Amino acid sequence: MGGEPRAIVLADDLIWATRLLGHVRAAGALAVHAREAAAFRNGLADADVAIVDLTARAYDGVAAIGAARHAGLRVLAVGQHDDLALRKRALEAGAERVYAYRKLFEDGPATLTAWLA
């Protein structure tokens, strides 16, 4: 990655989308928001990494991880700490890490800075 990495963030929840985009920017990356699967897929070619909020009504987070991995991107996911089955499926689909919301709420910029390095 030359210069600032470009992260595409798939999140349909306004609060978490805003938080994740802010954390990405604080970590020194360019942040692009996608609210639904088609916009996410369309943005993959211009991205270096992807971040997927797994708790969504507008898209399938596990399928989005698979699409990002198929496009050659590194993927980080965020979801409910107690949804172990979904977290496992996200890892199997190719997410490098699946963080609980609380982890990114408390420690988002530092966590993303370390992941992007």
Tell me the per-residue pLDDT of 74-96, one tens digit each, with 9 for 90 and over. 999 999 999 999 999 999 999 99
| Inter-residue contact 79 to 55 (CB < 8 Å) | yes
> Is 7's pLDDT higher than 60?
yes
pTM of the shown model = 0.94
Residue 99: predicted pLDDT? 96
Digit-coded pLDDT (tens) for 11-44? 999 999 999 999 999 999 999 999 999 999 999 9
Q: Which domains does the chain have, with CATH numbers?
A: 6-116 (3.40.50.2300)
Residue 45: predicted pLDDT? 97
Digit-coded pLDDT (tens) for 37-68? 999 999 999 999 999 999 999 999 999 999 99
Which own/partner contact pairs does 43-46 have at CB distance under 8 Å and 24+ positions apart?
Answer: 43/8, 44/8, 44/68, 44/71, 44/73, 45/71, 46/6, 46/8
